[in-house]
Structure 1
Amino acid sequence: MWVVKIGGSLSHDPALREWLMRLWEVGGGRVVIVPGGGDFADAVRRYQREWRFDDLAAHNMCLLAMAQYAILMQGIVPDLVLASNEDRIRRALRDGRVAVWVPTDLMRTTPDSMTNWDTTSDSLAAWLSTTLNAERLLLVKSCDVEAHAPLDMLAASGVVDRRFPAYVRDANYLVEVFSKGDASRMRDRLLAFQA
């Protein structure tokens, strides 16, 4: 199973449709898409600055932001299956479908290590990859990403969140970061690793 996190920065980019279509074409039964937060999460940041509520509320709102992006993705490719937990994700994969994670089950009532702005959808994708015992985690970014760039460097430059390198340091899955123009390369790789 591959987890593919598509950054919210692609939410207005034609590359989003290409990524979703290619994943749908070749990823049935093997791919779980994790949506970023995009404009929806940016709105949470603005509201938090204005109203000065705590990071727990912001975390829960950002999970809903990711859910909105997931619904947008399914609106673009209706055959994608929205799935809010491990059971639903595994059911979608067993049915030969591509799942899009709706992370509302991670809403919290008390703060924890995830309820802060250092932990974004990148780290949540790593958490899901560990939970699902994924083979690979691919992050898709709107910016150009140098092949094999160290994750600590990508975190320092803001390409991935600050906590992401620690989340994946001891991971049992391969981590790759792709640029938005790499959809064909990802498709070829997914085809090459078909069971």
Structure 2
Amino acid sequence: MIIIKLGGSLSRSDVLVNCLDAVEKNCQGRAVVIVPGGGAFADQVRLAQQHWQFDDTTAHHMALLAMQQMALLFKGLKHGFAIVHTVSAIQEQLNRQKTVIWSPDIIELDNAGIQASWDITSDSLAAWLAKTLSATELILIKSAGIDANLSLQQLAEQQIVDKAFCDFVAQAAFTTRIINAQTWTE
């Protein structure tokens, strides 16, 4: 099973469609779960929190809703893909040979003890999902340029991945790749 996280910033251009097409083309016959970033929807949550000064738990829940909105966008672009909300529903759809878009369930993540913090974004949630599902590979597709010589810690310091990502992939049984969207779609 492959977990593919598509960065929310990809939705600012046609690169998103190219990435979804590449998933459809390159991953046929494989169990694939797409994790959407929050994109502009999550950016609005950050702005609202700065303005209204509400707590991180509220912001975290709103950011999960941003990921859900992106999941709906992805589904609108790829009607053959299936949206699922829970870990248990993922396997059911994969058994039906569907490419799955994860629209994370707030209660499930709260029950899993996922901390409400901007240090944990969809990058770390994708890693959590990969670990939970015993995936073999996690691929983060980003709009940012990726220097393959940098460590995960250096990528976190450059804010290419979130601050908690290294902890989420530590001791992981799956392989992790972080690549630029242009590289993915070539």
Q: What TM-score comes out, normalization by structure 1 length?
A: 0.89
| Cα distance between partner residues in 1 of 2:182 and 2:53 | 38
Are 2:95 and 1:94 equivalent residues in the alignment? yes
Cα contact 2:61–2:106 (8 A) shared by 1:
no
Q: Alignment length, in residue pairs?
A: 184
Deviation at 1:106, TM superposition (A): 4.4
Q: CA shift at 1:149, angstroms?
A: 2.4
d(CA) in 1 for partners of 2:41, 2:67: 7
List per-residue Cα deviations over 1:16-54 (Å, max 9, x = no partner).
Answer: 101111212343441100000110000001111111110
Paired residues of 1:35 and 1:101 also in contact (CA < 8 A): yes
Identity %: 38
TM-superposed deviation, 1:97: 1.1
TM-score under structure 2 length normalisation: 0.93
Cα distance in 2, alignment partners of residues 72 and 141 from structure 1: 17
Q: Does 1:33 align with 2:38?
A: no
For the 8 Å contact 2:3–2:32, the answer to whether it is kept is yes
Structure 1 residue 107: Cα displacement: 6.3
Is residue 22 of structure 2 the alignment partner of residue 14 of structure 1?
Answer: no
Residue in structure 1 matched with residue 134 of structure 2 by the alignment? 133
User: How many angstroms does 1:87 deviate by?
Assistant: 2.0
Letter in 1 for 2:143: S
Deviations 1:125-152 (CA, angstroms, capped at 9, x unpaired): 0000000000000001101102252100
- Structure 1: which 5+ residue stretches go unaligned? 186-195
* Aligned-partner Cα distance in 1 for 2:109–2:56: 11
In the alignment, the residues of structure 2 paired with residue 32 and residue 106 of structure 1 have an alpha-carbon distance, to the nearest angstrom, of 20
1:158 aligned residue: 159
1:151-174, CA deviations, whole angstroms, 9 ceiling, x for partnerless residues?
Answer: 000000000000101110110000
Unpaired runs of 5+ in structure 2?
none
**1:188 corresponding residue in structure 2:** none
**Aligned residue in 2 for 1:24:** 24
The alignment's C-alpha RMSD in Å is 1.7
